[in-house]
Structure 1
């Protein structure tokens, strides 16, 4: 299957296909403490495999996480989008922001775009986000998106994670978060 990864533009961001050119910035992220709540630090060899996984997810499932560029600087700000690898409890909307890009609302802005794509293009009826219990910033993003806290999910490698259930397509279209974005 050959998949064309769509480019989505928001007010301040460009969501585009992950590419090998993202590797060095991803290495910096996964070598930093910012990676603590998204699987932990990785060496470059592991980051290369992770980037290949991000690209392969699109090819295998027809959707995935986008590389997110900040329009004003052209810099890679993070990886945000749709994720559902083997062993995941349900399709997820996930976000990882790189150093210097947190606290600007970028995760929320890109996650709203990703959720709209999941609902409007892919026909999803629901989505979750998994949040490490100590990742207060990620929890705040889930809340800003209108997600509701569900039961904990225990992943065999990542441990206990909070499960946050997103608004349904009907709730979004009836005045959910997109109505105010």
Structure 2
């Protein structure tokens, strides 16, 4: 478990499914992300995939909780999603973040992203991490830039345009 001033981050647990699925059912939250509306079955399988990352790779996505309320407010971490975007992308830890709309504008995403990257650097020390962001998602692009991500290419993923970004270890 990681604790920040306002958040708790930990690997997902089975009891997270209902609040996690409710967050993933907010379609406005996904306007820039190529994620279809998840059925409960697909959502369950995604949660199990998150657990598999930790079991097989030793890193993965964190469930993010607001310390004050105890509510699940996001998914943040690094994973290997095997997106098929080429050798310059696949095989590197991929940063990913999504926070409930109630958190937007409060700096909580930056707090969670910082904590997950600091943890990964201590635990695994990767030389490079990557992420993909829709070029219209200005908020995520700003957040990526804040953490040292720089564009290195573009791609189409699930029918949408994406900027591929990388962050080199310092």
TM normalised by structure 1 equals: 0.81
With CA pairs under 8 Å and 6+ residues apart, which has the higher RCO, 1 or 2? 2
Give the aligned length.
162
Contact 1:29 / 1:35 at 8 angstroms: preserved in 2? no
* Structure richer in strand, relative to its length: 2
Structure-1 residue corresponding to 2:169? 169
Q: 1:54 to 1:21 in 2, by over 3 A?
A: same
The answer for unaligned runs of 5 or more in structure 1 is 1-6, 171-181
Shift of residue 69, structure 1, vs aligned partner? 0.6
Distance across 2 between alignment mates of 1:28 and 1:153: 30
Q: Secondary structure at the match of 2:153?
A: strand
Structure-1 residue corresponding to 2:129? 127
Summarize the alignment of residues 32-181 of structure 1 with structure 2, pairs less than 5 Å apart.
32=26, 33-38=28-33, 39-87=35-83, 89=89, 90-155=92-157, 157=158, 159-166=160-167, 168-170=168-170
The answer for unaligned runs of 5 or more in structure 2 is none
- Superposition CA RMSD, Å: 1.7
Instruction: Pick from 10, 14, 19 the counterpart of residue 16 of structure 1.
Output: 10
Distance across 1 between alignment mates of 2:25 and 2:42: 11
Q: 1:41 to 1:135 in 2, by over 3 A?
A: farther
Q: 1:158 to 1:70 in 2, by over 3 A?
A: farther
Distance across 1 between alignment mates of 2:101 and 2:83: 29
TM normalised by structure 2 equals: 0.86
Q: Which moved more, 1:88-97 or 1:44-53?
A: 88-97
User: Segments of 4+ in structure 1 off by > 4 A?
Assistant: none
Q: Secondary structure at the match of 2:43?
A: helix
